[in-house]
Amino acid sequence: MAVFDPRVTPARADLAAKHLEGKVSAARFVEGRVMEVIEPQAPLRREPRPDAPLDTEALKGERVTVYDSNAEGFSWGQLAADNYVGWLPSNALAPAGPAPTHKVAALRTFAFPGPSIKLPPLEALPLGATLAIARTADRLAITSGGAYVPGMHLRPVGAYEPDFVAVAERFLGAPYLWGGKTALGLDCSGLVQVALAACGVACPRDSDMQEAALGVPLADRKDLKRGDLVFWKGHVAIMCDANNIVHANAFHMAVAIEPVEGAIARISTAGSEVTAIKRITAPAS
């Protein structure tokens, strides 16, 4: 049997996706059912426990193929956007509704229960969350479920930002959170993924996956420019100009901008050297 990355392969010893039959070993194979994330963000964990480490987050409107659910309130499945596999709270999922038409383009926005921004909000939605908008009225977009969202905070799902570095820079000061993907907290690879997704560039979740999949390698740090990615083992940063990086990092416990050479020296002292520098070449689609 071939070896597959368990982070993006819906396979366990006892159960696997039906499409993997003959490719992986499992006690049984099942067809999944497509569900939709209905919470602003839902934690995805490697194990079905609320105290298990956070691997990533799924955002509202994201599709998830669910292969298993347990009595403790967790569902095991695979995210459609980046193929990540893990356990999500079952109450954060529902059968997939209408296809999303719009996405949140602000760092955060609110959904209200009626046509007034003075009403107590139903929820706060993060950048990248997707919604099915049924109609608009008085600068408010009304979702298929009847929530009201400021229209100026939304863009059609096919509209993309022109500069992923500018998207990343909007998170400046957001706290560092391992596995996070929103302005409430995010990690280094989450920042890269969210910023690139806003520009229509498909991006894997973890930094080692990003190093393998994104861009073309650069041999010389003297050629660095805005938008290049600098990788270490377990870390990634974005060049915001020829000399400075923006990255979510545990040293500052926040998204911060700092000189790249200073960061390289500090991280080297901690035992990790630069493993690659990559230049993003894929255009928004």
pLDDT tens track for 18-32: 999 999 999 999 999
For residues 94-118, average pLDDT: 98
Question: What are the structure tokens assigned to 119, written together?
Answer: 């009403």
CA dist list (Å): 104 to 151, 161, 234:
9, 12, 29
Judge whether 43 and 88 are in contact, CB under 8 Å: yes
Residue 68's pLDDT band (boundaries 50, 70, 90)? Answer: very high
d(CA 76, CA 70): 9
**What percent of the chain shows pLDDT beyond 90?**
96
Q: What's the pLDDT score for residue 3?
A: 81
Mean pLDDT value across the chain: 96
Residues forming a β-bridge with 234: none
Give pLDDT tens digits for 152-206. 999 999 999 999 999 999 999 999 999 999 999 999 999 999 999 999 999 999 9
Q: What confidence score (pLDDT) does residue 285 get?
A: 39
Phi, psi at 197, each rounded to 5°: -60, -35
pLDDT over 90 at 283, yes or no: no
pLDDT of 284 over the 80 cut:
no
Residue 282 in this model has a pLDDT that exceeds 80: no
